[in-house]
Amino acid sequence: MAPAKMLIAGNWKMFKGPQEARVFADAFSPPDVVDVVVCPAYPALAVVVESGLTTYAQSVHWASDGAFTGEVSPPMLVELGVAGAIVGHSERRQYFGETDETVARRTAAALEAGLGVIACVGESEEERESGQTELVLRVQVEAIRDAAGEHARLVLAYEPVWAIGTGKTATPDQAQEAHAFIKSLVDAPVLYGGSVKPENADELLFRDGVDGALVGGASLDVDSFTAICESAAHIPS
């Protein structure tokens, strides 16, 4: 299920309120040949939706409503005009108790509601060093696949935990190997996430099996994010 275009998603994490989001959106003009998604914090979702940029939330709950203080449901996002959500980001797993089960439930509910999903998987540095990368990826990916099936709106993002916000990046060979393994488990596009920046975008995106990128810090600056999108625009389809 290879995508027709490269997909570049910018995860703004807990940065940029509505005012900063509006300034960014006004200045940002991505290339047409790349699918670009912006993932702002909840308070800025409406602003980014109104800008015309494809907008994803940074998480979504599995229930359509209920007593889940602080959570946001799939129908709420749909009503707002949001196109999809990131699910299972390593920071959600690390800091907020996300498990393979809850990630799978969120994924399935979002897809059922008509949203797109970027579901994140990846191993810690300790798991990689102990040779458990494939085991960890298999457990995470199969939980998502078994709950949601293979779906046209499902995208996986391989984000080695040791490369998130650390400045470390998987080598192109490591990324390619992980993407190939994930694709052996589920027929879906796979993005690379983990300290992607303009300086390394070309060498990562040109690898077979890399269908785009989930960009963190480098997506906060218009020029930096545009440069990554331009790199993706030069990848042969």
Catalytic residues: 89, 159
8 A C-beta contact, residue 141 and residue 121: yes
How far, in Å, CA of 210 to CA of 189, rounded? 8
Per the CB < 8 A criterion, the answer to whether 190 and 211 are in contact is: yes
Do 39 and 12 contact (CB within 8 A), yes or no? Answer: yes
Question: Chain centroid to CA 50: how far?
Answer: 21
Task: Report yes or no: 11 and 215 within 8 Å, Cβ to Cβ.
Answer: yes
R_g of the chain, CA atoms, integer Å: 16
CB 148 within 8 A of CB 108: yes
Residue 47's Cβ-count burial label (10 Å; 0-12, 13-18, 19+) is: buried
HSE toward the beta carbon, residue 160, CA cutoff 13 A: 25
Residues 50 and 52: their CA atoms lie apart, in Å, by 5
Q: Phi first, then psi: what are they for 230, rounded to 5°? A: -65, -35
